[in-house]
Chain A
């Protein structure tokens, strides 16, 4: 077992040699690559990575270029997680047979997928990986929409959001259904670790990723990834949106250990009203019209309700 990388502060972190390269074709200001870098830099071990179809995959492996300085595979939309699980099973088998050329190296297995590939299309495959107990990590880059194919709704899209298949207009306020609680669903597989992270809290994120790498078994990470194109904000405001999402408790940061023990890892000192989070994004612009104003109150109530639920669950240790 190799030693865990020691990261005390940002200066120490900045000596990491990046394994994700620039000149990828992600939009300017895309949070995907910030999340990927924070995940990859959290460890010094060898990496076996996969990416399901999505922005991250099509923008970082445009033939003849690749942006990944690690073993990286892309196969189908749904089975990025199973590809990594297969590699992990093979690694384990070869290790047991003593046929690994470098048995002391300890690769980490990570699959990246967007919310479309995780919440909808790859759901069954991820569930299978979690259930079979592969020693791998699945990271969801949750931008709440099928951003790669033109902004269709996914089951991660929150209520009131205007998307291309659920547009806001005279007859509709946009998406009518609410977001799936994926972290809880995955935690219900009784996996050793599942957590929700945000790129703006890098220390919290690195800590969770390192904890995820240190446990033996499947790990599920849901990372908030503000999307400049589909959330409709200025590229420079990516980190501002990430701040707003965590501080307004729309994306509370917490972890669930062994499917039971819930810990809230970040409590904002000043909780920002959800209205500010909504106002910063073009996709919620229509909610500020008079006829849809009640939805903002609904949003606030639901976020408050979820926050009190998480706090009660943390206290009760269930």
Chain B
């Protein structure tokens, strides 16, 4: 990764910790009466959503607006895309309008990679989820939530997740969240175990930097966190598992199973949750479940990513090239932290 964020695998340990630390600072903004920073004033960001995702789009939009960026929302439905326009043409149209960054959600794995590497546009590209490939800001917000809960909000700064044991449960095969989390959590030193029926694990998973189990019950007592994945009901019709009832019985998280977790362990879910199948209401509504907290943390993480890619002097990633330097004299750039102006 250079000036784009395409995959969680592109982040080094130091890149990731810098993003998490920056997100802690961003989180403080959310606690203020006026939740706004001038950092990206004058910068234009397009949210280019080819696939429906209200949660992720709103999260990015909130992050962009809190950083004072000009925001353009583009959804494929009813747009030129539905008239047959290609990704390339759409990208070049946006480029002609002078956008600084494109946040892209696309149903096709690799679409953000193509956007960033095909010479179609010059803007920074941030992957907001592509097919079954990657969703790096989701992994970052999950890591942020884990670090806050397991290490502490103030004591966590500068820390990674060394030694933490995270169990990821469900449809790994079709999950960009699982792929992103395996990559990032491994980079941050955590031990990851994937738990799923064999039909929902990809061929070649044994080469991933994680353990694999088909047995949830034996894994739970050794977990500091359990991350439940969304399971689409239509998978049942494609014979990935026999019935919802059988799935819930073997891989669903209910109160009895939650009781097997160590006392400090948390339950995570990227949402939206299918209650009764993958997680019971009892678990979803318990104070050990961080689903709502993850949504809030998502805004902080996305603010941090946008700031570091577009506005920060301190690069978020190796060889990063803050594009602000193209537009502003050095003495007008943001200071080392983005908060100086507001805090004066």
To the question of whether A and B form a pair in one complex, the answer is: no
B interface residues, Cβ below 8 angstroms from A = none
